[in-house]
Amino acid sequence: METADIERMKEYIERIGRAPNHTVEVLTLEERRDLGHLLSTRITENERS
């Protein structure tokens, strides 16, 4: 996973953490899809190692 991808994922998670009730609603639909893809990729990579 690229460093830029990890940084983007961290930013999304930090924004969710700062949101009232810690909901993903602070992200746009596109950002939610991107985060889902990033998390899926990260999980797949971790399962391979």
**For residue range 29-39, what is the model confidence (pLDDT) as tens digits?**
999 999 999 99
Total domain count, the chain: 1
Please report the pLDDT score of residue 18 as a whole number: 97
Given a cut of 90, whether residue 1 has pLDDT beyond it is no
Which amino acid is located at 4 in the chain?
A
- Which range marks the domain in which residue 35 is found? 3-48
> Which residue is listed with tokens 């690229």?
2
pTM of the model: 0.87
Which helix (H) or strand (E) segment is 3 a member of? helix 3-18
What mean pLDDT is reported for the chain?
A: 96
CA distance 11 to 2: 14
